[in-house]
Structure 1
Amino acid sequence: MDFLVLDVGGSFIKYAIMNEKAEFMEKGKTPTPMDTIEHFIDVVGTIFDKYKDRIAGMAMSMPGRIDSDRGYLYTGGNLEYNTDKEIVSILQKRCPLPITVENDGKCAALAEAWLGSLKDCDDGIVVILGTGVGGGIIKDKKLHKGKHFIAGELSFIFTNNAAFESKYSHMWGMQAGLSGLCVPVAKAKNLPIEEVDGYRVFQYANSGDEEVLNILDDYCYRLVLQLYNLQYIYDPEKIAIGGGISKGEILIKYIRKNIEKYYNNLEPNLGVKPEVVTCEFYNDSNLIGALYNYLTKYKL
């Protein structure tokens, strides 16, 4: 049995034909429409037409605050045209088959809980370091969504560190997202921010650039403070770190270094160290989690 699985991002809609074992038979991507929901439905419909004779259903990962049981988007994230939309019902008029939808960060958590680094855990948290901070919470091996479907929306955690000149500077998403690394590195190297991305930051770091390593150390210290908060609020077995920048071993090395640093400052017998691991899936995590959400809903 094959399924069409879509990961709707801010730049591209990634799609794949997958089976119930999360094996990929085919992959592709197309630019995400940024103008209207009609254009969005047309693009998704065109992908559907290509595969409609070989699929049993469609599973989708999307940005926004989502009631996945109802198939309703309270917000569309950066795709504002999807706000307050019965997205599953709308899509089914164009693609008449079973469709599921879930938030992208929550899909990443589902992927790790199903087949990834949290598969041996009852309780865990996934933290995705990207433009902001996405994620999801796993409770008793199931996704915890919360009353208002915002459990795991880690970007909106408030901090008292207004490190950057922005109305969002007091939110964790601004400080622990890519800007939390790229902005100070750009300033330190006297470069336009447009020329500094995660890849360049870690080029500096991996080459032993002391200035950038100090920035990375400070970034990880501030990140670790919030990981301790998550540990004490929820007490997960593991916290899995994902996102493109988590691929580099040096990031996890510095996170673990700062976990030890903070732990050594706690009162004896009061400290519990977060166990931090890397996510197993990167670009495929949202696709795998979206598929699992579909299989769970339809008990396949």
Structure 2
Amino acid sequence: MYLGVDIGGSSIKLAVMDSSGAIISKESVPSPKSDLDEFFASISSYVCQQREAYSLQGIAVSTCGAVNSEEGVIYGSSALPYLHGPNIKQMFIDRFGLPCELENDAHCAALGELWQGGAKKSNDCCLVVIGSGIGGSVVLDRRITHGHQLHRGEFGYMIASYGNGKSKTFSDVASTRG
């Protein structure tokens, strides 16, 4: 059994899944706006209960932004700026005593499509995520491509319009906040 944690600007979604991807248990909590201590406090009870109940083998964490999965660090901008900079991956490992992986949410969605979704028979695919912002993922030879400065697939940064001396990105004009 594995724990999936999706960190969003308005909520944190948590789910226990088996190795086939079937959801065994799930929870959603509001995303704290203040700091890392409040963030971990908001999920600790659920994580600890599920770790005991299901003998969890690891944690997979997804979030928006430029995620350096090797370093365990989130860069860029989001609704939760306190997440940027610290080694989030190591913090999960230290707090919950389980192996952890950290990746951009759009990359995780693309991996899911490769595993069991519409791209499972493909080697290459492109995925666009539209929500609070616009993101995406580019997969070549069944591998996530992170690109220069971890921004490949971040389609929301593309300029959609320019006027009155100001540019607007796709996220500015087409996301749920745009």
CA distance in 2, matches of 1:44, 1:134: 25
Q: Secondary structure at the match of 2:132?
A: coil
Question: Deviations along 1:9-54, whole A, 9 cap, x unmatched?
Answer: 1111111110111111111111111111111122232222111222
Q: Secondary structure at the match of 1:170?
A: strand
CA distance in 1, matches of 2:47, 2:126: 33
Contact 1:74 1:85 in 2 (8 A): no
2:172 is equivalent to residue 171 of structure 1: no
Deviation at 1:68, TM superposition (A): 0.8
CA distance in 2, matches of 1:173, 1:76: 12
2:157 is equivalent to residue 156 of structure 1: yes
CA distance in 1, matches of 2:50, 2:140: 35
Instruction: Flag the structure with higher strand content.
Output: 2
* Corresponding residue number in structure 2 for 1:25: 24
Aligned length: 176
CA distance in 1, matches of 2:94, 2:83: 16
What residue ranges of structure 2 are gaps of 5+ in the alignment?
Answer: none
Question: Deviations along 1:41-74, whole A, 9 cap, x unmatched?
Answer: 2223222211122211111111221111221122
CA distance in 1, matches of 2:177, 2:87: 33
* Corresponding residue number in structure 2 for 1:43: 42
* Corresponding residue number in structure 1 for 2:9: 10
Contact 2:29 2:43 in 1 (8 A): no
* Corresponding residue number in structure 2 for 1:287: none
* Counterpart amino acid of residue 86 in structure 1: N
* Corresponding residue number in structure 2 for 1:187: none
* Counterpart amino acid of residue 6 in structure 2: D
Q: How does 1:65-104 map to 2 (within 5 A)?
A: 65-75=66-76, 77-104=78-105
Q: How does 1:1-300 map to 2 (within 5 A)?
A: 2-53=1-52, 54-75=55-76, 77-159=78-160, 161-162=161-162, 169-178=167-176
Contact 1:113 1:138 in 2 (8 A): no
CA distance in 1, matches of 2:118, 2:41: 36
Question: Deviations along 1:231-270, whole A, 9 cap, x unmatched?
Answer: xxxxxxxxxxxxxxxxxxxxxxxxxxxxxxxxxxxxxxxx
Q: 1:121 to 1:91 in 2, by over 3 A?
A: same
CA distance in 2, matches of 1:59, 1:114: 15
CA distance in 2, matches of 1:47, 1:60: 15
- What's the Cα RMSD here? 2.0
Q: 1:72 to 1:179 in 2, by over 3 A?
A: closer
CA distance in 1, matches of 2:51, 2:177: 40
Question: Deviations along 1:88-135, whole A, 9 cap, x unmatched?
Answer: 112222111101111112111211122111122211110112232111
Q: Secondary structure at the match of 2:38?
A: helix
Structure 1 consecutive aligned stretches of length 4 or more whose deviation exceeds 4 Å:
none
Percent of residue pairs bearing the same amino acid type: 29
CA distance in 1, matches of 2:50, 2:27: 12
CA distance in 1, matches of 2:41, 2:18: 25
Larger Rg, first or second structure (1 or 2): 1
Q: TM-score, normalised by structure 2?
A: 0.89
Q: 1:89 to 1:179 in 2, by over 3 A?
A: closer
* Corresponding residue number in structure 2 for 1:247: none
